[in-house]
Structures are given as C-alpha cells and as structure tokens.
C-alpha cells in the first residue's frame, strides 16, 4: 500500500505567530530583539484581556520601562536576581498570576514570560505545576545549550550572527539552517512545533493594540 508523507510548510511563506500553548523556548536575537519579542507577546495577551506576568532576570533597561509606562501594567512585571535561583516571592507571584488568570479569563491561558531566569530543581517543579494548571510559559533562554531536548512544546528562533546561528542550528537538530537564521529580518522568527518549521512574524510592540 502506498503511503503519503505529511507536507512540510514552505519555509518561504510568512505566517502570523499563532497563539502559544504549553512551554515555549525563545533562542537568539540581540538584547533589543528579545525585549521586543517579549513586549509584543504581552501586548497581544493584554489586548485579549488575558493575564500576563514577566519575571525578568536579564534586566535589559527597556523591558521594565515598556511594562510600566507603555503597557501601563506595573503589576505584570517583576525584577528578579540574575543568579541564585528564583526567590520564593517571585514563585508566589507566578502562582498568584496563574490563579487569577484562570479565574478571570478561563478561555485564555495565563501567560508567563521568563527572561533569563536561573534554573533550579525547585523552580523547574514550579514551572511544571504551572503548566499542568493551564498556563503558557515562554522562556528566553541564555544560550543554545539551555535548550533541553523534549522539554519544550514549541521553539522560536530569532535572527543571529554566523557563529551563534551555527550553534542554534545544531541545538535544534538542523531543522533550521544557520543561513536561514542569518537571513531572518527584524520582527521575524522560525517556529518549530511538532517537528515542523514555520517562518513567522512576531507580534508588534505597539500601544495601539492594547
């Protein structure tokens, strides 16, 4: 009996970034690219009246400014130390945000944006609990080595320079080539989900969408 292969989406077709579910990793990009991606995701979530919380250990100067001034959402941003793990107060804030989001907008998963957080066994258990409760967890990873095989439902790759692009390509099993990563434009990414690869536009960081 003849068999047919599922068709791989065209790598040249540009799709809007779909709604994210489960655990998502973001790799690559410079400091501004990462912040723009985070804020764009937050803007989209707020526009749908959903709950969002950013735990920020990378401390890029623009991230807090955008949350507090542009988005007018100071309660959706929490600065955390860049080492020694996630403090109990931050973990409790994440638990509270997810509980609040599930109660107020049950049709839209609460969105947790984790920027450069230091991994510990306790924090990993907290993330798993939040995922099981129904949250969407998006993590900005510091390096390709932090991409643990089988941990993430979706991976988003941002544009990179040649040396870093080669490392990222290896980290995702060559599903995306280093050349494809270098050719991405600002505001674009490569999304890997269920072994398929899509070229996507990232949500815009504009106040008008809120």
List Cβ neighbours of 24 (8 Å cut-off, separation of 6 or more): 136, 137, 138, 139, 152, 153, 154, 155, 156
Phi, psi of 120 (to 5 degrees): -135, 160
- Structural domain contains residue 28: no
CA distances from residue 102 to 86, 97, 126, 158 in whole angstroms, order as listed? 23, 9, 17, 30
pLDDT at residue number 149: 87
Cα of first residue to Cα of last residue in the chain, in angstroms, is: 53
Count of domains for the chain? 1
- Structural domain contains residue 145: yes
Q: Which range of residues forms the domain containing residue 117?
A: 14-22+35-209
Beta strand spans in 49-177 (E) = 52-56, 77-79, 111-115, 136-140, 154-157
Return the structure tokens found at 198: 């899509």
Query: Which regions of the chain are under pLDDT 70?
Result: 1-11, 206-210
- Structural domain contains residue 128: yes
Place of tokens 């967890």: 137
CATH code of the domain covering residue 112: 3.40.50
Read off the pTM: 0.90
pLDDT at residue number 209: 42
| SS3 call for 180 | helix
Place of tokens 């009996």: 1
Asked whether 176 and 164 are in contact (CB, 8 A), the reply is no
- Structural domain contains residue 124: yes
pLDDT at residue number 6: 43
What's the rounded Cα separation, in Å, for the pair 175 and 203? Answer: 23
- Structural domain contains residue 144: yes
pLDDT at residue number 3: 39
pLDDT at residue number 130: 98
- Structural domain contains residue 7: no
pLDDT at residue number 84: 77
Q: In 3D, which of 31, 39, 67 has the Cα closest to residue 142?
A: 31
Place of tokens 């929490």: 78
């Amino acid at each position: 009996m003849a068999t047919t292969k599922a068709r791989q989406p065209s790598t040249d077709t540009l799709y809007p970034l779909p709604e994210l579910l489960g655990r998502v990793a973001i790799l690559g990009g410079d400091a501004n690219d990462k912040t723009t991606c985070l804020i764009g995701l937050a803007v989209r979530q707020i526009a749908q009246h959903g709950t969002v919380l950013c735990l920020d250990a990378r401390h890029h100067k623009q991230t807090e400014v955008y949350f507090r001034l542009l988005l007018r959402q100071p309660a959706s941003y929490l600065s955390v130390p860049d080492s020694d793990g996630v403090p109990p107060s931050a973990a409790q804030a994440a638990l509270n945000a997810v509980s609040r989001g599930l109660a107020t907008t049950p049709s839209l998963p609460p969105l947790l944006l984790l920027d450069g957080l230091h991994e510990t066994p306790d924090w990993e258990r907290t993330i798993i609990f939040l995922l099981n409760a129904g949250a969407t967890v998006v993590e900005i990873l510091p390096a390709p080595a932090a991409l643990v095989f089988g941990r993430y439902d979706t991976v988003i790759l941002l544009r990179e320079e040649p040396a870093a692009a080669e490392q990222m390509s290896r980290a995702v099993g060559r599903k995306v080539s280093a050349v494809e990563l270098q050719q991405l434009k600002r505001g674009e990414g490569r999304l890997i989900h269920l072994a398929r690869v899509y070229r996507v536009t990232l949500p815009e960081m504009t106040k008008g969408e809120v």
